[in-house]
Structure 1
Amino acid sequence: MDEIAELKYDIDKKLEKESNNLALLKDCLNRSGTNTQSMLGILNSFESRLKHMESTIVPVYNETENLRRRQENIEKTMHTLDTVLSYYHAAKDLEATVKEGPGACDLETYLSYMEKVLNAQKYFQNYNAGSKEQAEINHIFVDGTQALQHEFKSLLNRHGHSVPPVVIVDMLTAEEDLPPVGTDTDLALEHLPEKVVSDLTKISQWLVEQAQSHQHLKSYGQSRAAMLNKSLQGLKEHLRSASSTSSQLSFISQNSPALGGKFRGSKDAPSRRSMMRLVNNFTKKASSALNKSSFEPGHRRQGSAANDSIREEVADVETDLYINELSALLRLMQSEMQLMKGIVPQKHERAVFDTIIQQALDSVVNEGEMIAGTARKNVQRHEYSAVLSIFPIVRHLRSIKPEFDLILEGCQAPTRAKLASLLSTLDSTGAKALEEFTGSIRHDPDKASNMPRDGTVHELTNHTIIFLTQLLDYAETAGAMLLMHGEQATPSASITADGCRMKVADYMTRVLSALGLNLSNKAETYNDPGLRPIFMLNNFNYILKALKTTGLLELLLLWNREVATYYNEQVLEQKRIYSQSWSKVLHYILEMDKPMSAQRTAQMDGSVKLKDKERQNIKDKFTGFNKELEEIHRIQKAYAIPDPELRQQLILENKEFLLPRYRMFHDKYSTLNFTKNRQKYVKYDADAVTRMLDKFFDASA
């Protein structure tokens, strides 16, 4: 019971608590409703006030906005009116200033004036075309454009200078290959001051973009073309004068414009050193012509070749000058291309560049064609060594032609073809000269009057070896000439270095073959049969030694592995033929058993009396031997063997060939009592014969 009462008590407590909570909640709801009604009243009052304010403010706002727009329109109208009025007054305000040109003020200010003139011109063109004002402003615009063009040309003429020769020489004598001009600040040429380049760029841009004018580009091309050509001519004249006398070099270098700051990258001392290297190269070649002989020591030639030698050396100097001129042209063209960037619009660069280089390129190409023409004349005069002057030119031009092709890319086709045409002309001239040289060797006249009396090396042999030796330095160049302009022309793309050397080896083999045949025909003009093999021996020996010492043999072996063997065999064959000249001498000492056998003479002493016939036979043998020995000595001491080694070798072989036989003959008969006047018949013992043989091939003995 107690538990039920206690449970009931708890339930009553909870019910009472919940009743209190419910009463509290109802009270809160009543207060919230009251507050809501108050807030609604306030909001309704605020809304009514806002409506009243809006009805009051909106008309004021609209009126203010209308006034603002009217003010803005008035200001725009005034500005437009001022602008239009300025267009009408532009002719009067700017005419004098525009006509004076940029020289009366700075360039920036003048260009701003021209902008005003341009704007006025556009206005009248759009809104008042054909009016008096338009005509006036057009006239002023033309005057301003002409003034800018004149200023552009004036800047070029006032500040443009040719490149001093000493600066060009510095570029050409650099020990390493030059990078493209502009990438190396030490070698980049400053043709114009930076301020002038900047002004030229601004003027050019305005004329092209605003005035749609390109007349100034023509002026630029003509001005720079004159400077480029003047630079080349100055270099050529300077090197010519320096090669003739280096005494003026110091004065020229000290007074060079390069020292005045017009050009960067060249100080006084290095410039003079560079020039001295180039000048010494020329002066050494020119002066060596006075001392150089085209024959090696001991080789005689008919007539003096001093004039020919001097002509060849002068041709060498001209060749070096032309090679340097080609290199200078390339470097100056690269420099001009670098200079024109910015000044000339990109789409006009190639046309202007074509104009700039045309005169200088024509000059260099024409000079090259003159060199080719001179070479052809030398061929007609059979001066083939002088023709070799074009080979270094061809080699150099072929090596730098890719750079020329790169910088000429985009120029007109005739301009791009000029160097290729020159190279083809030089190639064909060289190939024709080489083939005609072979023909001249083959058909060289075999007249007795043209033959050396002493059987020495023929002038033709010497000239041929010298020509081939000089040609060896340009083997690949000559090979390319022969391949491209031979009977079966080979495309340049198919030509290789090995193929060129093989072709030259074939050519030299043909030349030597023609030379050998011609020498054989020439030898037949000698009446003395003993002189013929001496002549052939001298020539074959000279050829063989020259092939070995000059490096020609190594090249010839590419084509024919038996070249050295052939000439060695020819030397031995000519020695064998020469030995036959001793037949008359040997005739008297070889028949040992006549008139008496060796066995019989060994049993006799000086007191034994010989028969008259035996005595006479012995006398005839000694007399005949003495006569023939003296005769062959008289003849052959006049023979010339310029090679000391060959001369001593042939004398030794003569001794080995004659002395043993004569010693046997002398020992056999000299002790017999065959005459009372022994000295008359036994004139020479073995030692005397030896001394006589030592005097062979020596006209002074």
Structure 2
Amino acid sequence: MRITLDNGYDMLEKAYKSHLLKNSATVDPSYFLKHDMSPRVNDIKIMTEEDQVIKIGVWLLKQPRIPNNFLSYYSEIRGAQILKNIKNIAEAQKTLQVASRSKLSTVRKPIQRLDKNDILTDIESCFVMCSSLLILFELEEKLMVKAIPDTSKRAQVFRELVSRPLAYVVLQTQKVVNEKDVGIIPLLPLLHLLSQNYARFHNLATNSIGDVQFDSLMRQLQVKCSSYVNEVIENLNEDTTKYVPPDGNVHPTTASTLNFLSSLTAHRVTVTQHVLALTAPQGSNTNLLLPKLFARILSALGSMLKKKANIYDDPTLATIFLLNNYNYIAKTLADEQDGLLPAITEMNSNILSFYHEEIATCTNEYLKSWNGISSVLKSVERIGEDKQMARQIMSTFVREFDQVLAQQTDYCISDPKMSSNVQTAVKNRIEKNYFHLLDICQRLHVFPQGIKYTENAFEMAIRNLFSSAKIN
């Protein structure tokens, strides 16, 4: 009788295992490649048919037989299925990224090296694996409530089940974090995800039967992000490259630095609590950690720009360079979408006024390049009826005007509004006296063959200032 009962148990357990293997579903990766998963979680099926697994498991749990081999089958088969699904999702993510990159390369030249794109793909893959793992575990727990109603046995099975997929994801993420060098920005979404779900991951790793180094991963990720932040400041302070835009446009480092600040702002809580707090002195006001960092970075950027300006042989072009960069910084700070200004003004409420003052100083410094022409035109009031004097002043003006235009032909002010403002300032400085000179020369018929700079020609010349490479 006992042997018959044991044989019956064995048959049921084999049937249980068979149903598990047959009905464990390979999930559709597309569900997991969206950043907002919550509305679609209930659409994901991790078992094609769960009724038989539940019925057999519930009945077997009520029997006095020990050990319960079917529970080992559950943890082994379901754990392996989760691992398989995670690998499939990661592979689908990489395929999607490669396809997207290939599509972009058909419409524009690639701006990043292939190896950097591969690193970004690896980081995105880690993000998707971590977020997907939480979802798959959540779905598994819902199934287990029905399949293994006994709380203590369910907890033990879950500890065994999570071990392999969790260890795999943590190990793969550690490998990418430790071996890849891509900068802090691509790592911030991953750091945000792991920090937001720290308690969940920590408990899973601690309770798992395997040796899962999640806390080590978190520490490595935080330290690496912290080192990247320090590296940005060091690179600005120690920059010795000689490149400056030949037209005085915005330096690439200015744009990249402001993009960096915007990205940190988007992840302010994560950066403050999990990056900056690592090295902050004890007792520091954590609310000011990010504003203080921004102040240091902007100060270092300002020093770098002044050093870059000294590279120009043409001091007027150097002024245009500073004007462009200060204006770019001010506009970016004032952009509500980036959210930079509120963070920075917590440390320095006058930061925007400072840059506006710098812009005004640069504008006035640039206008000095027109002082020679202004001086020439000051003599207009003394012409009277003197044709010779009128001819001399007009000839001198044309020569000086041509020289300034030739010198500044490659100058660029990239912001159309700022360009227009400076053009207006130039126009206001010389237009009145020049038009007076033009009227006198026309009235006295000083140049019967015609004058080079009529009103229209003069205004066109002013409008063409700074137009070498405008960026809208």
TM-score of the pair, normalised by structure 2: 0.82
Is the CA contact (8 Å cut-off) linking 2:27 and 2:46 kept in structure 1? Answer: no
Aligned equivalents of 1:392, 1:313: Cα separation in 2:
17
- SS of structure 1 residue aligned to 2:462: helix
**Matched residues, number:** 465
Q: Which residue of 2 aligns with 1:330?
A: 134
Deviation of the 1:561 alpha carbon: 0.4
Whose relative contact order is higher, 1 or 2, with alpha carbons under 8 Å and at least 6 apart? 2
Aligned with residue 311 of structure 2, among 516, 519, 525 = 525
Is the CA contact (8 Å cut-off) linking 2:334 and 2:341 kept in structure 1? Answer: yes
Aligned equivalents of 1:437, 1:392: Cα separation in 2:
19
Q: Which residue of 1 aligns with 2:325?
A: 539
Amino acid at match of 2:377: I
Q: Which residue of 2 aligns with 1:228?
A: 82
- SS of structure 2 residue aligned to 1:657: helix
Aligned with residue 478 of structure 1, among 259, 271, 281 = 271
Amino acid at match of 2:176: I
Q: CA separation of 1:239/1:619 partners in 2, compared to 1, >3 Å: closer, same or farther?
A: closer
Q: Which residue of 1 aligns with 2:431?
A: 659
2:257 is the counterpart of 1:464:
yes
2:186 is the counterpart of 1:389:
yes
2:376 is the counterpart of 1:572:
no
Q: Which residue of 1 aligns with 2:168?
A: 363
User: Is there any run of 5+ residues in structure 1 with no aligned partner, and where?
Assistant: 1-89, 99-109, 115-143, 179-183, 246-282, 293-303, 379-383, 607-614
Aligned equivalents of 1:577, 1:508: Cα separation in 2:
28
Deviation of the 1:348 alpha carbon: 5.3
Give me the CA root mean square deviation: 4.0
Aligned with residue 194 of structure 1, among 34, 51, 58 = 51
Amino acid at match of 1:695: N
Deviation of the 1:287 alpha carbon: 4.8
Q: Which residue of 2 aligns with 1:554?
A: 342
What whole-Å deviation, never above 9, does each CA across 1:534-560 have from its counterpart, x for those lacking one?
111111111111222233223222221
Aligned equivalents of 1:220, 1:694: Cα separation in 2:
77
Q: CA separation of 1:227/1:374 partners in 2, compared to 1, >3 Å: closer, same or farther?
A: same
Aligned equivalents of 1:489, 1:288: Cα separation in 2:
47
Aligned equivalents of 1:426, 1:541: Cα separation in 2:
35
Greater Cα offset, 157-166 or 527-536 = 157-166
Q: CA separation of 1:521/1:290 partners in 2, compared to 1, >3 Å: closer, same or farther?
A: farther
Q: CA separation of 1:241/1:148 partners in 2, compared to 1, >3 Å: closer, same or farther?
A: farther
Matches within 5 A, 1:169-180: 169=31, 175-176=38-39
Greater Cα offset, 190-199 or 571-580 = 190-199
Aligned equivalents of 1:584, 1:517: Cα separation in 2:
31
Matches within 5 A, 1:623-642: 623-642=395-414
Deviation of the 1:654 alpha carbon: 0.5
Matches within 5 A, 1:202-601: 202-203=59-60, 209-210=64-65, 212-213=66-67, 218-241=72-95, 287=103, 306-307=111-112, 319-339=123-143, 347=152, 349-373=154-178, 375=180, 377-378=181-182, 384=183, 387-405=184-202, 410-411=207-208, 414-415=211-212, 418-447=213-242, 450-488=243-281, 499-500=286-287, 502-549=288-335, 550-590=338-378, 598=382, 601=383
TM-score of the pair, normalised by structure 1: 0.57
Is the CA contact (8 Å cut-off) linking 1:165 and 1:238 kept in structure 2? Answer: no
Deviation of the 1:686 alpha carbon: 5.4
Is the CA contact (8 Å cut-off) linking 1:585 and 1:629 kept in structure 2? Answer: yes
Aligned equivalents of 2:409, 2:461: Cα separation in 1:
10
Aligned with residue 163 of structure 1, among 15, 25, 36 = 25
Q: CA separation of 1:321/1:556 partners in 2, compared to 1, >3 Å: closer, same or farther?
A: same
Aligned equivalents of 1:429, 1:290: Cα separation in 2:
34
2:416 is the counterpart of 1:644:
yes
Aligned equivalents of 1:404, 1:700: Cα separation in 2:
51
User: Is there any run of 5+ residues in structure 2 with no aligned partner, and where?
Assistant: none
Is the CA contact (8 Å cut-off) linking 2:162 and 2:204 kept in structure 1? Answer: no
- Percent of pairs with identical residues: 20
Deviation of the 1:511 alpha carbon: 1.4
Aligned equivalents of 2:252, 2:434: Cα separation in 1:
38
Is the CA contact (8 Å cut-off) linking 1:446 and 1:518 kept in structure 2? Answer: no
Is the CA contact (8 Å cut-off) linking 2:376 and 2:396 kept in structure 1? Answer: yes
